Chain A
């Protein structure tokens, strides 16, 4: 009798253990698969171009082996660009996760909060009013994003910052900045308006180590911080009281999360412009792949994969016309998200 009981006990425990570990196990598997696919996309992105380099030679050329011409093209031209794509994807992906989780709202990506529109407005000012280009635009965008974030935070501050108020203030600020952008666009010379349009779509055309370097250093700091903040973020998702009960310092964690999310979006936008849709879709896609509510690493990898694939496609599909990456992220990212929604509906798992 007791033997039977203990066997049932054992079975139950196995079920519970299984249920507990499938979430994490799935996340690990999904992350591994995404990382592998991401690396292949990275090599592929480096291999294609006007001077094609076989994918098999790419890893060698990355470390300086093989044909010197290929090594030069890879290390000086293609690698920084691919790196910018990868890192921008990671940054937007993580930033999206942070804001969507903080605001409990899948529509609250950094585009809506106003940070990217701050960067955009500043960039358009640099292009249209100051006739600048290149790194001046990046610097302007970074300053614009920082000032905007500061303004939003100060305006939303009232004995602490509720994420809801932050989002609504962000919407107001976004409206003002977009109005400014429209105004400048109608007053600009058409060639500068075209340049601004490309930037506003999000483009990593012609990005070199001057862009990749600072971006890489910033992410080296920001990504570990974000991963450390995953724990309080998960607690905050359970509600403010619960989080407090779990011993999470609510205000401080929130401030740290907002700051990190802003910094991620700002450095990414400065490097590549407001690449459409990446921040918005990374988290929902990752969530549906992993089937868990909060998934940082998969979301970052999804973001990276989307930007890499989009940039490669944008360069090659209509060659010699090169489409900005922001055009392609929307065109390939949106149908995928829609397909996920439709499939979830068929399975009856809801949105």
Chain B
């Protein structure tokens, strides 16, 4: 009922042969390296590539530039890479599992659950530090998605994509309503929350990076390993089953990896929905529907978008900055719309 009726779409991507796809991936990695270097160099105080190099190989705590680099630029860039990878990969996995091009990772209620947990943490417990939000957001995201999955999988048929999507949207709406109820009556919480809700990489230090990195690493490995199963799932449950897949088990595995990735990303940087939703579409246009390629391409393209957006946000309104959540949408959306117009989107 979901994607079956979407008009016939391209089966093959722009880049056909596997060797070319591999080359494309390498090109993407080079792009990512350039963006990473830019992210290390530019900010309120630009640095030369030489300074960056020195700060890595010959760190001198007496130099202000080196301290800025070690304590601000580097953790922020690393976090940008991690969150980017997490959002891209989880988006690809989620669309594969839900077989729905409109499914972003938020569909399991992750963002809504994290937001509610953060609002409760601010409003009830008076927590106001970014590091204090991390575990609350993660716990909120995890509990919500388990609940969504459980509700969506009740009954004999198990968790079909439509049921999970509906259950996720319903539960997300429920939680968002409670969040708004708190925000409407509690001004001081709104004052804290509105800055978290934009999605930003600013002022995150090594402590936050260290807390979320293991989850993102684990989730990414799980996703890459299970991309074969995603291919089977994308053909529909019956076909997947006849190909010898344990449909239920594959789906649970994918859901676990989405929770790890999006939970960690949201906990670290706030809700940034657009990346996970659109990057897999771009990846699919390049590679075609094979998840063994879509997942790695998403893992490379998403951090390019996120880090690039963060760099732009840092330099356009210096000395202030635009939050990365805003810039990703502003530069990503026109690109996405152009893509939607130019080509028929590749099939899921």
Contact = CB atoms under 8 A, between A and B. Distances in A.
Contact of A345 (B157, B195, B198): B157
Contacts of B278: 171-172, 175
A158 B341 CA distance: 7
Given A337-B166, A338-B167, A328 B177 contact: yes
Interface in B161-193: 162-163, 165-167, 169-171, 173-174, 176-178, 180-181, 183-185, 187, 190-191
Interface string A77-91: 000000000000000
Contacts of A194: 184, 187, 190
Contacts of A186: 194-195, 198, 323
A330 B173 contact: yes
Given A164-B6, A194-B187, A327-B180, A341 B151 contact: yes
A201 B329 contact: no
Nearest to B153: A345
A69 interface: no
Contacts, number: 192
The 8 A-B residue pairs with the shortest CB-CB distance in the complex, in nearest-first order: A345-B155, A330-B177, A334-B174, A179-B329, A351-B163, A175-B329, A351-B162, A172-B333
A253 interface: no
Interface of B is mostly: helix
B108 to A, nearest CB: 13
B2 A105 contact: yes
Contacts of A331: 174, 177-178, 181
Contacts of B155: 342, 344-346, 348, 350
B325 interface: yes
Nearest to A310: B177
A197 B340 CA distance: 32
A243 interface: no
Contacts of A229: none
Contact of B277 (A171, A200, A323, A326): A171
Contact of B340 (A165, A191, A350): A165
A171 B176 contact: no
Given A165-B341, A194-B187, A341-B167, 14 more contacts: A107-B165, A108-B102, A156-B340, A156-B341, A168-B340, A175-B273, A176-B329, A183-B322, A197-B184, A276-B180, A281-B170, A327-B180, A341-B151, A342-B155
A334 B173 contact: yes
A285 to B, nearest CB: 10
Interface of B: 1-2, 5-7, 100-103, 107, 151-152, 154-157, 160, 162-163, 165-167, 169-171, 173-174, 176-178, 180-181, 183-185, 187, 190-191, 194-195, 197-199, 273-274, 277-278, 281, 322-323, 325-330, 332-334, 336-337, 340-341, 345
12 contacts: A164-B345, A172-B334, A175-B274, A179-B329, A182-B198, A197-B183, A276-B177, A328-B177, A331-B178, A333-B173, A346-B154, A350-B163
A255 B97 CA distance: 32
Contact of B173 (A173, A280, A345, A351): A280
B102 A107 contact: yes
A86 B6 CA distance: 34
B176 A330 contact: yes
A338 B337 contact: no
Contact of A162 (B7, B103, B169): B7
Contact of A172 (B157, B173, B322, B340): B340
Given A323-B184, A338-B151, A107 B100 contact: yes
